[in-house]
Amino acid sequence: MPGKTYIKKTLFTCALLCLFAILLGTLPEIWFHNHLKKNWNVEENTLAGTKNGRRYRLCLVLALDGVPYTMLRDLRKEGYFNGFYPPGRLVSTFPSLTRPAFSKMLIGGKPFGYERLYYNFDTNQLQGATLIQKALSTQKEHADYHPKLHFLGFPGYIAYVFPDTFTQTALDAFKTRLKHFKGDEFIAYMGISDAIAHVEGEAALNEFLKKVSDLLDTVRNDIGILLDVVLFSDHANNFTQNRRVDLSTPLVEAGFKNTDQLEERKDFVLPENGLVSFAAIYSAKENAPAIAAVLSTIEGVDFSVYRSGVSLLVQGAKGTARISKRQNRFLYSRIDADPLDLKDTILRLKYLGEIDPQGFIHEKAWWMATKGHLYPDPLKRIWEGMNDLVQHPATVLVSLRDGYAFGPPIFDQPIIDSRAGTHGALLASHSYGFLMTDFMHVKDASRPAEVAGLLGRAAEAKKKGQKLVGVDVK
């Protein structure tokens, strides 16, 4: 009799576990499928793709999260994305993150913070969604780039746990929405690509992009009208094996206190978001030099930047330099080091006569000289990141070296998969997204705001042979 009771209990336990597994596997999928049926835009526009009241052309603006320029370049050489002109590099914001980058690219509102968690000096609180809240949240309520979307292919942070579960559902729903769309400019965001990059790595992301290429070929054949496609990404992902950097412990050992509210003189707030190669530190401004000094001693930290009067100071392991700005001109001056490695660039610009008597150089000259640099367009990106990129900028921004990342302690080795990608740093390997179209050439490199020049005008520009911001129409 005791043996039969044990068997019954075992079978009952197994049945419960099976039921739990089924629910775990199906409920997120059911929720995501329902989410994807929604129209993510308030109204569908009708700008340029109609003639005599009839639609004859559709422009698809498809944003892929976290796809490196080099990956699209190589896939196109292999025969994928047939019909597209060669891609150009699309230099991200600094930090090289989705929310600020896509907000600039899609002409969205200014994000609250760089990532989901940020500190608000006005309320003296760490704000933003918790990891649990973000698990199934799409943040449609945020006034950044989301209101611009007709399609949001991202099921919240749960995608970073089960990227395979949602990939095909997202692609199928995208195709259905696009085919039944009645406007002439369809703006879509596919966030599942970044989840694949972070969790499954480069090879898996490459396979996903091949599916996107095949899907675009299918849609082009099925849609029944002319289709122009603008395809781009917000930043890259660096696939070097990453070690988690502990930024908090050295600061605490130096006498600072890690907290969620700034109450005492040496308090600091250090939001821990995902596995990224940047960090934002919030503290009293008088603490910034001492915090930067501690950071410069930590393995994996490339440099940190903080405000000093009307200028910015960039401090690395070897020393510090200053960034100053007057209107559209920047001055980069060495204090005791050159942490951004700009000495040779400045010498070339001086030879070309680009430096004024005070040493300032116009941002356009900086852009042309540094768009292929180890740190692309560094001065403008750093200045924006510390001043007007988000509503609540940091006291100190940290950029990490290749092979290092920052996030919650759960990401400590050996939990981090060696295939995992990361981004956020100023480095080119984290910053070069891509931009390409199937109807005109693009520049070899573009800034985020230049993508905005394509929105709502791409089809009409081709028709009229116009030149858009940052893009030459052929």
Are 235 and 281 in the same domain? no
> Domain for residue 288, yes or no?
yes
Residue 270's domain comprises: 243-411
**Preceding peptide of 95 cis, ω within 30°:** yes
205 & 256 share domain: no
Q: How many CB atoms neighbour CB 57 within 10 A?
A: 19
Give me the CATH number covering residue 434. Answer: 3.40.720.10
- Average pLDDT estimate for 94-115: 89
- Are 149 and 189 spatial neighbours (Cβ–Cβ below 8 Å)? yes
Same-domain pairing of 55 and 188:
yes
Task: Indicate if the pLDDT at residue 458 is higher than 90.
Answer: no
| Domain edge (last residue) among 385, 411, 437 | 411
In the chain, the percentage of residues whose pLDDT exceeds 90 is: 55
Residue 45 pLDDT > 50, yes or no?
no
- What secondary structure letter does DSSP report for 454? G
Q: CA of 387: how far to CAs of 92, 366, 382, 383, in Å?
A: 16, 19, 9, 6
Number of compact structural domains in the chain = 2
Are 336 and 369 within one domain?
Answer: yes
Whether residue 181 is found in the same domain as residue 321: no
Which of 157-161, 246-250, 345-349, 449-453 is predicted with the least confidence, judged by mean pLDDT? 157-161
Rounded-to-integer distance, Cα 129 and Cα 271, Å: 11
Residues 57 and 228: beta-carbon distance below 8 Å: yes
Closest CA to 339 of 276, 278, 382, 393: 382
The reply to whether 217 and 314 lie within a common domain is no
Q: Span 285-299, mean pLDDT?
A: 98
Q: Which of 130, 174, 178, 176 is nearest to 156 (CA)?
A: 130
Residues 389, 436, single domain; the answer is: no
- Which range scores top for mean pLDDT: 109-118, 183-192, 276-285? 276-285
Amino acid at site 368: M
What percent of the chain clears pLDDT 70, i.e. is strictly above it?
75
What residues contact residue 10 under an 8 Å CB cut-off, 6+ apart? Answer: none
Q: How far apart are CA 382 and CA 15, in angstroms?
A: 56
* Cα–Cα separations (whole angstroms), residue 50 to 176, 219, 437, 452: 21, 19, 21, 21
Q: Which string of b and e fits 135-166 if b means at least 16 CB within 10 Å?
A: bebbbeebebbbebbbbbbbbbbbbbebbebb
CB 30 within 8 A of CB 397: no
Closest CA relative to residue 216, chosen from 31, 413, 72, 24? 72
C-alpha span between 65 and 309 (Å, rounded): 36
Query: In this structure, are 45 and 104 located in the same domain?
Result: yes
Final residue of a structural domain among 411, 435, 450: 411
Q: Which of 411, 435, 452 is the last residue of a domain?
A: 411
Q: Helix, strand, coil % (nearest 5) of the chain?
A: 35, 20, 40
DSSP SS3 for 278: strand
pLDDT the model gives residue 336: 95
CA-CA-CA-CA torsion sign (347, 96, 269, 146): positive
Do 189 and 226 belong to one domain? yes
Residue 258 has pLDDT above 70, yes or no: yes
* Domain presence at residue 128: no
Q: How confident is the model over 369-399, as pLDDT tens digits?
A: 999 999 999 999 999 999 999 999 999 999 9
**Structure tokens belonging to residue 146:** 């989301």
Q: What is the pTM of this model?
A: 0.85
- In 37-130, which residue ranges form alpha helices assigned H by DSSP? 69-77, 98-105
Is 135 within a domain? Answer: no
For residues 31-56, give the mean pLDDT. Answer: 51
In-domain check, residue 386 = yes
Please give the structure tokens belonging to residue 87: 């891609």
Query: What is the 3-class SS of 326-366, one letter each residue?
Result: ECCEEEEEECCCCCCCCHHHHHHHHHCCCECCCCCEEHHHH
Structure tokens at 405: 């990342």
Is 316 in the same domain as 382? yes
- Is residue 85 one of the residues assigned to a domain? yes
**Model confidence at 190: pLDDT above 80:** yes
173-to-5, 150, 206, 220 alpha-carbon distances in Å: 48, 12, 21, 16
Distance CA 368, CA 328 (A): 14
> Does 19 reside within a domain?
no
Residue 147: the pLDDT is 63
**How many other CB atoms are there within 10 angstroms of residue 308's CB atom?**
15
Contact of 423 with 276, CB cutoff 8 Å:
yes
β-strands 311-316, 301-308: how paired? antiparallel
* Burial state string for 437-461 with b = 16 or more CB within 10 A and e = fewer than 16: bbbbebeebbbbebbbbbbbbbbeb
**Separation in Å, CA 334 to CA 192, 340, 348, 425:** 42, 10, 16, 21
- 3-state DSSP assignment of residue 257: strand
Q: Which helix (H) or strand (E) holds 173?
A: helix 163-179
Indicate whether 167 and 248 sit together in one domain: no
Residues 225, 327, single domain; the answer is no
pLDDT band at 250 (very low <50, low <70, confident <90, very high): very high
Evaluate whether residue 124 is within a structural domain. Answer: no
Residue 15 lies in a domain: no
pLDDT: which is higher, 420 or 192? 192
